[in-house]
Each structure stands twice: as structure tokens, then as C-alpha cells.
Amino acid sequence: MKAGYRCLLFHCVLLSVTFMCHGKDLFFNDNGNLILPGSYNIPWMSGIEDFRALSLLTIPGTHDSMALYGGPELECQSLSLKDQLRAGIRFLDLKVFGLGNTLYVMHGVMYQHSTLKDVIDTVQAFLSEFKTEAVLIRVQPESFEKTTVNEMVQSLIGNDQRFWVSSAMPTMGQIRGKIVFLQMNTFTLGIPLIDTNGKGNTKVTNVNDKDNKIIKQLNQATLACGGDNAVVTYTSGTGFGTFWGMFLTPKRVAEKVNPWLNQYLRQFYPNQPRPCFGIIAMNFPGIDLIQTVANLNINGW
């Protein structure tokens, strides 16, 4: 009898641990293997009407999208670019360094094993398969090559009509199957971008304070939605460079922020129409969090 009880208890504990781990992975994912349910809606933009302006959408994205290398201080994602796109990510945040005729994707001084051409090739392959989708890209030049990055990107894409480089705000119908560039500061191709990150918002010493900052940023984004600019809110953060948050790596911050963010956004689901939050760029997002962001667009008009 006692043996049977111990066996039952063991299985209950095992099930509880499995459930808790799975639950965490729904919103936060540091596992590089993507497993999508059979019913997962990869081409979620197919449900958006052609006449909707891009600035009226809420779009799931990643911060430092290619930052998979460099250790705890630098790693911001676990999924490959191909898997991020299949999971529903439609905004990519890229820091590039120009050397010779090549734009290398970086995070700080760490090369992220990819060039901008590699990224574009992967995105175009995805868009060839899912023609209803569009992918937004923010290019942030690094170091002393800032003045030449625009020319290098223009040379890379040529006159390819699969890119949106105009500053005019497009409708969804105008950008299906295309890469949409976003411009800010030293990069001048594409749609003007507003970044809600204020000074010091990326530094985290207390996660509850970070949550409150994100709420203020999302409120700012809502006010900017529907205008002539795209707007992005970064939910990412790190404690590196601070004393009290020295152990808060980008991963540890995301582990705490992502479930909270999912719960915060879900409260708007009964709203008709649902609010627009623009681009929400995250670290280590799980598939349920990505879908929570994307589904804000459903019945949200």
C-alpha cells in the first residue's frame, strides 16, 4: 500500500513538474527546438483585411532577433530566424556592421553568425511559402560605418519590388509577400519609426518596475497607432551594468516579464474594438505569447 502511494505521489509530482515547465514555455521559451501544434496558425496575417493600414496593427517581434550567441550577457533569443517566422514573429531587430561589401549582423562586438543577406534570403524564402504575410525589419548601423549602411542596403536589394522602402504608410494589401524596412536615426529607408523606449528603460534592477515602464510604453504606443509612423515597444531588459540587477540577464528578465506581459495583454480581449499597440519586440517569447500578441488583431476593429 505504501509503495503504491509513493508511486502515485511520484507520478503526481512528475505531472506537476511537467505542467509547470510546459506552462513556462508557453510564454517564455529558451529551448531552441520549435514544436508547433498541428492547428497553429502560421500565416496569421491572412486574417487581416487588405485595406487595414500597417500602423493600426499589433505585431509580435523580437529584440536583437539574431542574438543567439555570446553568452548570458548577450543572448536574447533561442529560436533560429526560420523558426521565429514560423512561430509568428513579424518584426526583426537587426544591428549590423559594414565591412568591405558585407553587412554582418552583430550584438555589441559579437558576430551573430549571419549577414544581412542571409537574413533577407531566409525571410524571402518564408514569404514565398506564406504569401499573405509581411515582415518588418529595423536595421541599426553599428560603429563607424553608419553613414554607408544605407548605400550598402540599397545596393543589396537593388530595385527588387519585394521590398517596401517608401516612407508612406502602406495598407496590408500593399505589403503582402514583402519585406518592409523601418527607418530611424541613421537608417533612412522605409517607414518612419517611433521607439517608446525612454532613457534607461533597458536597464532593469527590479522586474516590477520594468512591468510598470512597459505599461507606460504601451499606452504611448496606443496613442501613436494609426498615424504616419510605425511604433515599437521593447519589453526586453538587462541588469548588466547595474549593481542591484547584476544577475538579471536578458533571459532572466524575459522569464519574469513574458508571463506577466501575456496576462496584461489578455485583459484587452473582451474589448471591442481591441486596442492597437504597434510592434511589441520581446526576448525569448513562447508561442502562446506570440499568438496572444497576434490575436489582438482578430475581431479588433
State the average pLDDT over residues 98-124: 93
Q: Which pLDDT belongs to residue 179?
A: 98
Question: What pLDDT was estimated at residue 20?
Answer: 35
Cell of 285: 517569447
* Segment of 100-104, 176-180, 270-274 carrying the highest mean pLDDT: 176-180
% of the chain with per-residue pLDDT over 70: 86
Report CA-CA distances (Å) from 269 to 57, 218, 234, 290: 15, 15, 21, 15
In this prediction, residue 219 carries a pLDDT of: 97
The mean pLDDT of the chain is 88
Residue with cell 532577433: 65
Domains of the chain: residue spans and CATH: 45-295 (3.20.20.190)
Q: Does residue 128 register a pLDDT over 90?
A: yes
How do residues 38-81 score in pLDDT, each as one tens digit? 999 999 999 999 999 999 999 999 999 999 989 888 999 999 99
What pLDDT is recorded for position 22?
A: 38
pLDDT in the model for residue 21 = 37
Higher pLDDT, 300 or 198: 198
Determine if the pTM surpasses 0.85: yes
Report pLDDT for 55.
98
pLDDT one-digit tens code per residue, 1-44: 444 444 333 333 333 333 333 345 689 999 999 999 999 999 99
Q: Please state the rounded mean pLDDT for residues 152-157.
A: 94
- Cα–Cα distances in angstroms (integers) from residue 179 to residues 25, 120, 127, 182, 274, in the given order: 29, 8, 9, 10, 26
**pLDDT of 300 above 80:** no
Report pLDDT for 10. 34
pLDDT of residue 4: 46
DSSP states of 78-138 as a string? -S-HHHHHHHT--EEEEEEEEETTEEEEEETTEEEEEEHHHHHHHHHHHHHH-TT--EEEE
| 251-276 average pLDDT score | 95
Cβ distance 65 to 94 under 8 Å? yes
Cα distance between residue 59 and residue 186, in whole Å: 23
